[in-house]
Amino acid sequence: MIRAGLLFSILSIFPAIFGWYQNWLGLTPAQEINLAIALLVSFLWITELIPLYVTGFLVLFLELIWLIPGWGPGAPKTITFLSCYFSETILLFLGGFVISSAISFYGLDSTIASFVIKKTKGSAYLLVLSLGMATAFLSCFMNNTATAAMMLGLVSSMMKSLEEGSPLRKSILFMVPFSANLGGIGTPVGTLPNVIGIAYLQEKGFPIGFLEWMAFAFPVFLVSVFALSGILYIVYLKKEKGNSSLHLIGIQDSTNSFPKNKRNLSIFVILVTILGWISSDWHGISNGTVALFPVIVFFGFSLLDLKEFRNLSWDVLILMGGGIALGKAFEETGLAKHFVSLFLLGESSQLSLFLFFSILSLLLSCFLSNTSVANLILPITMGLPGDLILPAAIGATIGASLAMPLPVSTPPNALAFSYGGIRSIEMVKIGGSISIVAWIVFTFLGGFLLHHLQIVDFSQF
* CA–CA distance, 127 with 120 (Å, rounded to integer): 5
14-36: average pLDDT: 70
* CA–CA distance, 412 with 149 (Å, rounded to integer): 7
pLDDT of residue 14: 52
pLDDT of residue 432: 92
pLDDT of residue 276: 86
pLDDT of residue 27: 80
CB atoms within 10 A of CB 302: 9
Report in angstroms the alpha-carbon separations of 193 from 19, 89, 189, 333, 378: 33, 12, 9, 23, 9
Per-residue pLDDT band at 245 (split at 50, 70, 90): very low
pLDDT > 80? residue 332: yes
pLDDT > 70? residue 21: no
* Listed ranges 100-104, 116-120, 448-452; the one with the highest mean pLDDT: 448-452
Domain ranges of the chain: 24-106+258-333, 107-246+334-461
In 400-446, alpha helices (H): 411-417, 424-441
| Amino acid letter, 107 | G
**pLDDT greater at residue 121 or residue 304:** 304
Q: What's the half-sphere exposure (Cβ side, CA atoms, 13 Å) at 287?
A: 27
pLDDT > 60? residue 20: no
pLDDT of residue 70: 80
Per-residue pLDDT band at 246 (split at 50, 70, 90): very low
pLDDT > 90? residue 414: no
Report in angstroms the alpha-carbon separations of 247 from 122, 128, 160, 388, 395: 10, 13, 9, 51, 41
Report in angstroms the alpha-carbon separations of 124 from 136, 266, 385, 427, 461: 18, 34, 50, 20, 43
> Do 262 and 94 form a contact (C-beta atoms < 8 A)?
no
CB atoms within 10 A of CB 283: 9
pLDDT > 70? residue 84: yes
Helix (H) or strand (E) holding 24: helix 20-25
Report in angstroms the alpha-carbon separations of 96 from 109, 258, 303: 15, 22, 16
pLDDT > 50? residue 424: yes
pLDDT above 90 covers a percentage of the chain that reads 30
CB atoms within 10 A of CB 221: 31
417-445: average pLDDT: 90
Helix (H) or strand (E) holding 51: none
Least Cα distance to 152 among 126, 125, 134 occurs for: 134
452-459: average pLDDT: 85
* CA–CA distance, 420 with 418 (Å, rounded to integer): 5
Q: What's the half-sphere exposure (Cβ side, CA atoms, 13 Å) at 382?
A: 29
* CA–CA distance, 312 with 326 (Å, rounded to integer): 24
Q: How far is CA 323 from the centre of its chain?
A: 13
Of the listed ranges 261-270, 337-346, 389-398, the least confidently predicted one is 337-346
* CA–CA distance, 456 with 391 (Å, rounded to integer): 6
DSSP string, 190-233: SSHHHHHHHHHHHHTT----HHHHHHHHHHHHHHHHHHHHHHHH
pLDDT > 90? residue 430: yes
Indicate the SS3 state at residue 80.
helix
pLDDT > 70? residue 219: yes
131-136: average pLDDT: 91
- As a whole number, the mean pLDDT across the chain is 82
pLDDT > 50? residue 249: no
**pLDDT greater at residue 404 or residue 249:** 404
pLDDT of residue 64: 94
pLDDT > 80? residue 422: yes
pLDDT > 50? residue 425: yes
As a whole number of Å, the CA-based R_g of the chain is 23
